[in-house]
């Protein structure tokens, strides 16, 4: 019986970039799309809060092997801020816990305030987060009214662009490293200007090298699947597209087979060092390897995929 249940699903390989709607958890969104694809195996990377919208990379089959690399990717968000009101969760879903006057700053002054937060910095994760303390999620403790010490973590904000400021509304675009909590960034920006704030809306526009143009709305995926599962599968993105930030190494067909078998491959005159994308001589994507300065290419994640993504 279990075998029959497993066989109902198909071995689907590839990524879809969902423009996640508000009101769904990342896992709920994944399960809906997984059913549309009739996919056997799936995962998501870079979870978004239920209230947040935007790019949620969904990985299926062999593409689940790139999840860890996308978790490490830089991200870009459009952030709408409500000034003058703080909430316990740092976003619009929380309870109001503090009010403060809003400083009368010009757009130029707000621009300058935002630029103060560009660069490397230490950030204390919020209590309402999925991080664990002694085996318990922080948000579980927070819901019980508990607050525990959290170790600050190093993050980097690459760029902040002011988009709008009017009354209690502040809107900006931020590009940042993995592990950045936008809710905390918003609170820190407000605090630096003598007020409080919370994130009213959060929309993720970019993950790694994937841009907003590549996203599909859930309704578009449902419409495509209504015409047959193959119509939706045509939108799948090859797994190596998630790894374009890694240098490329080409192997002969013979060396490629050895790489796939888990063997370390010698590479003459290596031009790079570290993690690389590995392809066979016929442009077949093999996986991720680690290349040493001495020219030894060790397999790190081996993939069973088709031709190189164009």
pLDDT of the residue at 175: 98
- CATH number attached to the domain at 2-72+210-240: 3.30.2350.10
Diameter of the chain by CA atoms?
Answer: 69
Question: Of 69, 104, 90, which Cα lies nearest the Cα of 209?
Answer: 69
The catalytic residue among 49, 88, 91, 240 is 49
Q: Hey, where are the domains in the chain?
A: 2-72+210-240, 75-207, 246-302
pLDDT of the residue at 7: 58
pLDDT of the residue at 2: 46
Reply yes or no on whether 240 is catalytic.
Answer: no
- Asked if the domains at 75-207 and 246-302 fall in one CATH topology, the answer is no
Q: Measure the CA–CA gap between 141 and 30, rounded to whole angstroms.
A: 26
Q: Measure the CA–CA gap between 21 and 202, rounded to whole angstroms.
A: 11
Q: Measure the CA–CA gap between 122 and 154, rounded to whole angstroms.
A: 5
pLDDT of the residue at 3: 46
Tens-level pLDDT at each residue, the chain (310 residues): 444 444 588 889 999 999 999 999 999 999 999 999 999 999 998 889 889 999 999 999 999 999 888 888 999 999 999 999 999 999 999 999 999 999 999 999 999 999 999 999 999 999 888 888 888 888 888 888 888 889 999 999 999 999 999 999 999 999 999 999 999 999 999 999 999 999 999 999 999 999 899 899 999 999 999 989 999 999 999 999 999 989 999 999 999 999 999 999 999 878 889 999 999 977 899 999 999 999 999 999 999 865 555 4
- The correct answer on CATH 3.30.420.40 for the domain covering 246-302 is no
pLDDT of the residue at 308: 55
The interaxial angle of helices 107-115 and 182-192, nearest 10 deg, is 120
DSSP letter for 239, please: G
Q: What is the architecture of the domain spanning 75-207?
A: 2-Layer Sandwich (3.30)
pLDDT of the residue at 227: 87
Question: Of 209, 244, 197, 21, which Cα lies nearest the Cα of 94?
Answer: 197
- Residue 258: how many CB atoms within 10 A of its CB? 15
């Amino acid at each position: 019986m279990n075998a029959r249940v497993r066989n109902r699903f198909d071995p689907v390989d590839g990524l879809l970039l969902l423009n996640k709607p508000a009101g769904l958890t990342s896992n709920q969104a994944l399960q809906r799309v997984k059913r549309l694809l009739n996919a056997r195996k799936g995962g998501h990377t870079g979870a978004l809060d239920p209230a947040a919208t935007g790019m949620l990379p969904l990985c299926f089959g062999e593409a689940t092997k790139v999840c860890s690399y996308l978790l490490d990717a830089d991200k870009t968000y459009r952030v709408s801020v409500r000034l003058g009101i703080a909430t316990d969760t740092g976003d619009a879903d929380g309870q109001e816990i503090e009010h403060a006057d809003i400083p009368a700053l010009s757009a130029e002054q707000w621009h300058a305030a935002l630029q103060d937060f560009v660069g490397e910095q230490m950030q204390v994760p919020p209590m309402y987060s999925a991080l664990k303390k002694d085996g318990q999620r922080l948000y579980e403790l927070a819901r019980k009214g508990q607050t525990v010490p959290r170790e600050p973590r190093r993050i980097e904000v690459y760029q902040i662009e002011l988009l709008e400021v009017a009354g209690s509304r502040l809107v900006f675009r931020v590009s940042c490293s993995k592990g950045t909590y936008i809710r905390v960034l918003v609170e820190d920006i407000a605090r630096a200007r003598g007020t409080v704030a919370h994130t009213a809306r959060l929309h993720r526009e970019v993950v790694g090298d994937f841009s907003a143009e590549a996203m599909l709305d859930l309704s578009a995926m449902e419409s495509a699947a209504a015409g047959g599962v193959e119509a939706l599968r045509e939108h799948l993105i090859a797994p190596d597209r998630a790894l374009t930030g890694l240098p490329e190494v080409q192997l002969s067909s013979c060396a490629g087979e050895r790489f796939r078998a888990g063997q370390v491959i010698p590479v003459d005159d290596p031009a790079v060092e570290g993690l690389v994308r590995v392809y066979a001589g016929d442009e077949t994507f093999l996986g991720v390897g680690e290349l040493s300065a001495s020219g030894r290419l060790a397999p790190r994640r081996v993939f069973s995929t088709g031709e190189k993504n164009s």
